[in-house]
Amino acid sequence: MTPEILPQAAGRVSPDVIEGLVRGIRSGDREAFVALTRLYQKKVFILAYSFFRNKEDAVDLVQDVFLRIYEKIDSFQEDRNFEAWLIQVAKNLCIDRYRKTRGRREMESGVRVDEIPLPDDRSPDAGRSSDLKAALARSVDRLAERQRTIFLMRHVNQMGNEEIARVLNISTGTVKSLHFKAIRKLRTLMEPHIGYQT
Amino acid sequence: MCPDCRKHWEDAEKIMKGADALKEDVRTAMTTVDWDALSERIADAALARPKTSPSRAREFPGWPRAFIWKPAFAGVLGGLLIGASVTYFALRAPNAAPPADSEIHASGEFIDRAELSVAKRETLDYLSKSQSLLLDFVQASPEEAGRLLHDEAAAGRASDLLAKKRFMNSHLDDASIAKARGICDQIERLFVELSQISGDLSTAEAVKIQKYIEDKQLLLRIKLLRKELAESEV
């Protein structure tokens, strides 16, 4: 197991370096694009994986995001924060794809995600942490879109309120409010499971 | 704290603990991706595609995009804005009181406190496991300590702790547990050093590391910090 899990380094890259890479990509420098991808691909993967909980979908999404970035690099305004722009693109693509895959899952199973029951909370194994994880994952699927995005950004991507606010283009207060609502809704959805555990 | 609030708090903590479990899944998945190959593949795919041409908005940076791209849409938008403004001024109460503080602010603090509580427990768990591993190292003879590095179970414990520390870093920024950061960082550095040693550790090197742990009073400081964190949790 490698300790190199979270792409902490990307957060420390100076704006000048990013600016240089962006200029390089605009002028067709392949290595600049590879370097930029390496800096941020793990961060995008974490966001995508938290949405889909599936490695293949997450990797596909990482590819889609960087292809979109490459296509749109000329329209990137240099006074903007590159990372915020990138995560915004990633978030939008995650939501688009999530809607499609959610629809596909519902069509295949014949039931809406909202109607899929949580694991049997009173089964003999209900107290196991893997059950809590499965129940939480299913409950997160039932959250409203913005609540789900904020919950995942905060708890899986480890983004702060200010960073989330910047990416979603909303106020920090709204982030806190939506996060609170997400927790409250999750609590309601998971009440039988949590109640059994105590 | 009333029983209902306590229950609410405990439930929120469990939900956030569950989110930590989701992070574990991400971590596992990340170890199976060939990142270098992925970035090369993306670059190949990107260069095979045409880039979109710069938008006209860049040619007219001061102009709203809707007016440049879609005049009809801009007209509709303008109408809506005027209509909304008229409605707002027509319906606005003359002495409308400022909105009272919503419960959300208090509840946000509540969640922050719950998060802090989870962070303290995570830190306690990290300190406890680190203490146990360091004790095994310090209490072993220098020869045994040298071999311990290559013991699969011990190496696994050390790398798990390194990974756990990565996830804890954002929590450790909180002022009320900032004191823990110094010692957690010191433990992390020691584990990083140990994990980078390849081959058997010589007796002299093992003694040197054991002495470092003793000189820095790492075990005592961990013990005191654990006590302090445990007490602040009550």
Shared-domain flag, residues A57 and A25: yes
CA–CA dist A172, B202 (Å, integer): 54
pLDDT confidence band for A104 (50 / 70 / 90): low
Q: Are residues A93 and A169 in the same domain?
A: no
- Per DSSP, B217 falls in state T
In this prediction, residue A8 carries a pLDDT of: 42
Residue B221 to residues A44, A102, A158, B185, B187: CA-CA distances in angstroms? 38, 50, 28, 13, 11
Question: What backbone torsions phi and psi does residue A44 show, to the nearest 5 degrees?
Answer: -65, -40
CA separation (Å) from B102 to A7, A11, A177, B99? 37, 34, 10, 8
Q: Do B29 and A55 lie within an 8 Å CB cutoff? A: yes
Statement to judge: residues A64 and A29 lie in one domain: yes
- Both A22 and A67 in one domain: the answer is yes
Per-residue pLDDT, A108: 53
The answer to whether position A107 is within a domain reads no
Output the pLDDT for position B38: 94
- Among A102, A137, A172, the domain boundary falls at A102
If one compares A178 and A126, the residue with the highest pLDDT of the two is: A178
Confidence band, pLDDT 50/70/90 cuts, at residue A123 = very low
**Terminal C-alpha separation, chain B:** 12
Asked whether residue A153 is assigned to any structural domain, the reply reads yes
Average pLDDT of adjacent 10-residue blocks, chain B of 234 residues: 72 77 84 92 86 51 53 77 82 58 56 77 86 84 76 76 75 72 84 71 80 85 85 68
| CATH number, domain containing residue A88 | 1.10.1740.10
Nearest-by-Cβ selection for B107 from A62, A155, A180: A180
Q: Which of A3-12, A147-156, A184-193 has the weakest average pLDDT?
A: A3-12
| Tokens found for residue A113 | 């995600």
Residues A98 and A135 in one domain: no
What pLDDT, on the 0 to 100 scale, is given for residue A157?
84
Task: Report the pLDDT averaged over residues A155-170.
Answer: 87
CA atoms within 13 A on the CB side of A26: 15
Handedness of CA A127, A128, A132, A134 (dihedral sign): negative
Residue at A109 is within a domain = no
Q: Cβ of A41 under 8 Å from any chain B Cβ?
A: yes
Which amino acid does the sequence have at A154? Answer: R
- How far is residue B97 from each of residues A152, B104, B105, measured CA to CA in Å? 36, 19, 19
Q: What is the pLDDT of residue A58?
A: 93
In chain A, how many domains are there?
Answer: 2
% of chain A surpassing 70 pLDDT: 76
Interchain proximity A30–B20, CB inside 8 Å: no
Shared-domain flag, residues A141 and A97: no
B72 at interface of A, judged by CB pairs closer than 8 A? no
**Tens digit of pLDDT for each residue in A21-75?**
999 999 989 999 999 999 999 999 999 998 888 899 999 999 999 999 999 999 8
Q: What is the pLDDT of residue A35?
A: 94
Are A70 and A136 found together in one domain? no
pTM score above 0.80: no
* pLDDT for the residue numbered B199: 64
A155 in a domain, yes or no?
A: yes
* Contact list, B63 vs chain A (CB under 8 Å): none
Is residue A130 domain-shared with residue A190, that is, in the same domain? yes
The rounded distance, in Å, linking the Cα atoms of A42 and A62 is 8
Residues of A whose CB is below 8 A from B165? 3
Better-scored residue on pLDDT, A110 or A180: A180
Answer for the pair B165, B192: CB distance below 8 angstroms, yes or no.
Answer: no
In a domain, A94, yes or no: yes
Q: Which tokens go with A182?
A: 């997400």
Q: Identify all chain B residues contacting A62, using CB atoms and an 8 Å cutoff.
A: 38, 42
Torsion of CA B84, B85, B86, B92, to 10 degrees: 100
Per-residue confidence (pLDDT) for residue A60, from 0 to 100: 95
Cβ atoms of A168 and A91 closer than 8 Å: yes
Residues 123-182 in B contacting A (C-alpha not used; CB under 8 Å): 156, 159-160, 162-163, 165-167, 169-170
In terms of domains, do A80 and A23 share one? yes
Interface mutation vs chain B, best among A46, A93, A133, most B CBs within 10 Å: A133
Return d(Cα A108, Cα A114) in angstroms, integer.
14
Domain C-terminal end among A68, A102, A136 = A102
**Which DSSP state fits B103?**
H
User: Has residue A114 been placed in a domain?
Assistant: no
Query: Is residue A7 in a domain?
Result: no
Looking at the structure, tell me whether residues A49 and A90 fall in a common domain.
yes
Residues A21 and A92 in one domain: yes
Residue A134 lies in a domain: yes
More confident residue, B145 or A144: A144
| More confident: A27 or A7 | A27
For residue A187, the enclosing domain spans 126-194
CATH number at residue A158: 1.10.10.10
Nearest to residue A180, comparing CAs of B86, B199, B106? B106
Residues of chain A positioned with their CB less than 8 A from the CB of B194? none
pLDDT of residue A33: 95
* A53 and A96 in a common domain: yes
pLDDT tens across B189-214, in order?
888 777 766 566 777 878 888 888 88
- Tokens in use for B129? 């496991």
Residue A179 CA to residue B104 CA, distance in Å, equals 10
